[in-house]
Amino acid sequence: MLLPLFAFLLGMLGVVAVFMLKPAKAAAIDQRLREVTGAEERGDDVRAAATAAANFLKNVGEKAPRSAKEVSGLRERLVHAGFRRPESLSIFFAIRVGFALMLFGVFVSGVFARPNLVFALASLGLGWVLPGMVLARLAKRRQHRIQLALPDALDLLVVSVEAGLGLDQAMVRVGQELGSAYPDLSTDLRQVNLELLAGKARSEALRNLADRTGVDDLSALVAMLVQTDKFGTSVASSLRVFSETLRTKRRQRAEEAAAKTGVKMVFPLVLCIFPAIWVVTIGPAAIQFVKVLFPIIEGGQ
């Protein structure tokens, strides 16, 4: 009875941890609605519970075993996935340890099958590796969303610069316009503006943008903007050329994905469709063959 309860509590802590790892967004409208509906106290209670759970996970994660090389790679992957709070790494290690212990407890207690130490140790290793795979998947999906948003952002950036705005003001404007359609890229562009307001150089802020996202096309855009700023060439013309190049690359990626579709369809056809076709076409003939053959065999005996 304790194991399902432990699994439920661990799942709830994981959900709370993901909620706490996400960057907070100021929502004046939501705050006003809470004040009108009287839900502010309930929201404070939920926020306090989430904070307590996050602090608990942080304390557990700080005591988890780790290596310097692994910490560097995980911190970079967390940033690419959008988890940028200082406690994100500790919470991730806590989730990893908890998930590994949960799977180990499930197999060593014999909930689904007989207790097996080999399976329990294998599940322990799987529980340790699986959160890292999920994190890598989240980072890859976020990078894909940013890559899809980049051509539209470049078009807006070209229009803003050609309309007379400076590059910094144009990025602020583009970040505001993309807030609803592409929130990931919008958040990163607003972060660039905050770093500029804090006194960082434009080249450093742009390089931080490329490091945060890990998208190759965005890194190329940052390198182009830094060189344009260094040599004093036209920003609008450089952006327009880069935008056309990026759209050509996106079309080529779409054509490549379309060309791979035929090969990818072979496995579903062989595993799912062909067996059903064989059953429908050969099945009646096989039944008739058995009906005819068995009387002959029995008569011969």
pLDDT in tens, 81-107: 988 888 888 888 888 888 888 888 877
Residue 32 falls within a domain, yes or no?
A: yes
In 3D, which of 190, 195, 183, 93 has the Cα closest to residue 146? Answer: 183
Residue 51 falls within a domain, yes or no?
A: yes
- For residue 139, the model assigns a pLDDT of 93
Residues 98, 13 contacting (CB under 8 angstroms): yes
- For residue 138, the model assigns a pLDDT of 93
pLDDT band at 73 (very low <50, low <70, confident <90, very high): confident
Q: Which 3 state secondary structure label does DSSP give 180?
A: coil
- For residue 85, the model assigns a pLDDT of 84
pLDDT band at 25 (very low <50, low <70, confident <90, very high): very low
Same domain, 182 and 113: no
HSE of 77 in the Cβ direction (CA atoms, 13 Å)?
Answer: 17
Residue 291 falls within a domain, yes or no?
A: no
Same domain, 8 and 116: yes
Same domain, 149 and 200: yes
Same domain, 18 and 137: yes
Q: What CATH number does residue 243 fall under?
A: 1.20.81
Same domain, 125 and 151: no
Over range 228-233, report the average pLDDT: 83
In whole angstroms, give the CA distance from residue 8 to residue 110: 18
Dihedral-angle region of residue 64 (phi above 0 means left; psi in -120 to 50 means alpha; beta otherwise)? beta
The domain total for the chain is 2
Same domain, 117 and 242: no
Which domain covers residue 247, as residue numbers? 145-260
What are the structure tokens assigned to 82, written together? 């959008």
Instruction: State the chain's mean pLDDT as an integer.
Output: 79
Cα dihedral 4, 9, 15, 17, rounded to 10, equals: -140
Residue 124 falls within a domain, yes or no?
A: yes
User: Which residues are within 8 A (CB) of 71 and not within 5 positions of it... i.e. 6 or more apart?
Assistant: 89
Residue 31 falls within a domain, yes or no?
A: yes
Question: Which range (66-80, 136-150, 154-168, 187-201) has the least confidence?
Answer: 66-80
Same domain, 120 and 157: no
> What proportion of the chain, given as a percentage, has pLDDT over 70?
76
Residues 37, 55 contacting (CB under 8 angstroms): no
Same domain, 136 and 158: no
Residue 198 falls within a domain, yes or no?
A: yes
Residue 297 falls within a domain, yes or no?
A: no
Same domain, 121 and 20: yes
Same domain, 92 and 171: no
pLDDT band at 137 (very low <50, low <70, confident <90, very high): very high
What totals of helices (H) and strands (E) does the chain contain, helices first? 13, 0
Residues 57, 90 contacting (CB under 8 angstroms): yes
Same domain, 212 and 163: yes
Same domain, 30 and 99: yes
Residue 60 falls within a domain, yes or no?
A: yes
Over range 33-53, report the average pLDDT: 59
Residues 289, 297 contacting (CB under 8 angstroms): no
